[in-house]
A = this chain, B = another copy of it.
């Protein structure tokens, strides 16, 4: 009973998030494609700032302002989509955003974050110390840190994807989600657990960044030993967050987490561009790769498999190199 009550509470928070971010983010369509009649696609690449991260960022910023009307800014660490999304949300809300970005990140990403008026801190920042530096800035400036995934507001914002899927496809057989820090999959899993628990929520990671899959199978939090070498830049976090672990493993709301190879990922990217006609980023193709390799159930017309395409912020040179290969 306690667990059910908790799920209802999360659902209430996800519904509040949906109301809060409406008008700030986009309701993305749920698409059928020529690839398979049993597949549906949720292209969060078409979301504002080019990724699902806008949902969590707007929910976090707007919730923060409700709780602390005098807040003047927010801090986070991110080399990619969360940084851009938080910068956008902060700008919309009139807050100053400080984004801690590892040195050496491509200039395009930094330009993307700066285009929303955010301050970018890179000096001396590495993938290993970025969280620590962000916490230090937050502490010294008296500002809240909005964690990219281990934050309930961020999780509940991401959960709004689940509400939209259920509005457009009332009984999917499975929903397949990329897993980095676990923010998106835990939000979606909470929405489905409360509204339609029959759907299998399945995560996907690259072979080389399989910490969440190992955590799920071991039942304890596992981490990556080193910075993983993968095209899927959006899921390089060394481990999922504690809140995300509670949802995914503790409450057993995720049926399975599967992994795909880099070649399978490249092939899926080509298929996404050429058959789905969607210009997605490598991380987003994880879910399609899992489908194409048969690692997730193929679904039926009535109970389709829904894949989340998490973002569309790609490096054009990377895309060109993969597209120009004759044999994917």
Flag if A277 contacts B312 (CB, 8 Å): yes
Interface presence of A240 (CB below 8 A): no
Residues of B within 8 Å of A319, CB to CB, are: 273, 320, 323
Verify if A1 is at the interface (C-beta below 8 Å from B).
Answer: no
Q: How many copies of the polypeptide does the oligomer hold?
A: 2
| 8 Å CB contact of A31 from B46, B314, B317, B323 | B46
A33 in the interface (beta carbon within 8 A): yes
Cα distance, A321 to B48, chains bound together (Å)? 27
Decide: B324 and A274 in contact? CB cutoff 8 A: no
Interface size on A, residues (CB 8 A): 30
Residues B312 and A317 in contact, CB atoms below 8 Å apart? no
Interface residues of A in 277-327 (CB under 8 A from B): 277-280, 312, 314, 316-317, 319-321, 323-324
Which residues of the other chain, B, contact A160 by a CB distance below 8 angstroms? none
Q: How far is the CB of A255 from chain B (nearest CB, A)?
A: 29
Residue A259 lies at the interface, judged by CB distance under 8 Å to chain B: no
Residue of chain B at shortest CB distance from A26: B32
Contact of A323 with B312 at beta-carbon distance under 8 Å, contacts A273-B279, A277-B280 already known: no
Pairwise interchain contact A277-B274, C-beta atoms closer than 8 A? no
The answer, yes or no, to whether A49 is at the interface (CB within 8 Å) is yes
- A206 contacts B by Cβ under 8 Å: no
A74 to B312, CA, bound (A): 40
With A and B bound together, what is the CA distance between A95 and B263 in angstroms? Answer: 40
Task: Please report the C-alpha to C-alpha distance between residue A316 and residue B46 in the assembled complex, in whole angstroms.
Answer: 21
List chain B residues, Cβ under 8 A from A181: none
Neighbour of A270 across the interface among B31, B45, B316, CB < 8 A: B316
A46 contacts which chain B residues (CB < 8 A)? 31, 33, 277
Contact of A45 among B43, B45, B48, B277 (CB under 8 A): B277
Does chain B have a CB within 8 A of A66? no
- Asked whether any CB of chain B lies closer than 8 Å to the CB of A123, the reply is no
Instruction: Specify which chain B residues have a CB less than 8 angstroms from the CB of A68 in the assembled complex.
Output: none
Residue of B whose beta carbon sits closest to that of A88: B34
Those of A47-66 within 8 Å (CB) of chain B: 48-50
A205 to chain B, nearest CB (A): 23
Does chain B have a CB within 8 A of A250?
Answer: no
CB closest chain-B residue, reference A280 = B277
- Interface status of A29 (Cβ within 8 A of chain B): yes
A319 CA to B269 CA in the complex, in Å?
14
User: In the complex the two chains form, what is the Cα distance from A314 to B320 in whole Å?
Assistant: 13
Please report the C-alpha to C-alpha distance between residue A46 and residue B279 in the assembled complex, in whole angstroms. Answer: 12
Interfacial chain B residues near A274, Cβ < 8 Å: 279, 314, 316
In chain A, residues 12-29, which have Cβ atoms closer than 8 Å to a Cβ of chain B?
26, 29
Report how far A34 CA is from B26 CA in the complex, Å: 10
Cα separation A50 to B276 with both chains bound (whole Å)? 9
Contact surface of A with B, Cβ cutoff 8 Å:
26, 29, 31-34, 43, 45-46, 48-50, 270, 272-274, 276-280, 312, 314, 316-317, 319-321, 323-324
Ordered nearest first, which 6 A-B pairs have the shortest CB separation? A277-B312, A320-B324, A320-B323, A29-B29, A320-B320, A273-B279
